[in-house]
Amino acid sequence: MGQAKTKGAELGTVDTSPFGPEDDVNKLTFALGIVTCTVLIVRPLPAQDQSNALETSEFVLAADLGRQVEEALKTASETGLGGLQLSEATLSIETGVSHESSVELHFIIFTISHRKQKGTTQMMSLLLRAPESRGLVKKIKLPDVKDALARAIATAAAMASSINVLPLDEAKVKFDFATSRNTKGEIEYVLLTGNASSSIDFSKTSKNSLEVVFKHE
């Protein structure tokens, strides 16, 4: 009977202690796991991580697009523009604002791959200084221009210069376009001509434009 009582006491000790030595370790590990998850959720992203987070197929940074449009204007000018001079260019972009961090905001452009409604956006117009083309030696042949926007600009200039029955004072051309990213993450233009415009959902995608002005040198 004494042995039975001792056994009962041992069983009672096990039953009334919710965690044994191993369980205490498990409980501590489980608690630390919860703390770790909480820290990861509320930790603000560093600026570099914010930039990487925006480098998806759904967004393009407005600053990146602006620089690429400037390169397109420069490339187009290097074709000779049919003897015309690029006088000015106005880039209008439809932007949203990224709230990835309370410290830093990003103006973003929604690409054709954006999956949600774009919500409230702002139109931003940038008057770009035209690259100097007076006396510019022709460096690139039009068929060799790979950039879609640069090729469109150069083609429009060549067409305008061919209309010469009457003196040409000024020619204005406006290009509407959306953006996308290729498999390398590079920004590409989707010129809104023909069926391209009807296939894009502009409730999700930013609609942008570039207006260029050509004059005789």
pLDDT in tens, 24-37: 444 433 333 433 33
pLDDT at 33: 40
Give dist(CA 188, CA 111) in Å, integer. 10
Q: Are strands 170-181 and 187-191 parallel, antiparallel or unpaired?
A: antiparallel
> Where does the pLDDT of residue 10 fall: very low under 50, low under 70, confident under 90, or very high at 90 and above?
very low
pLDDT tens column, 127-140: 987 766 555 556 88
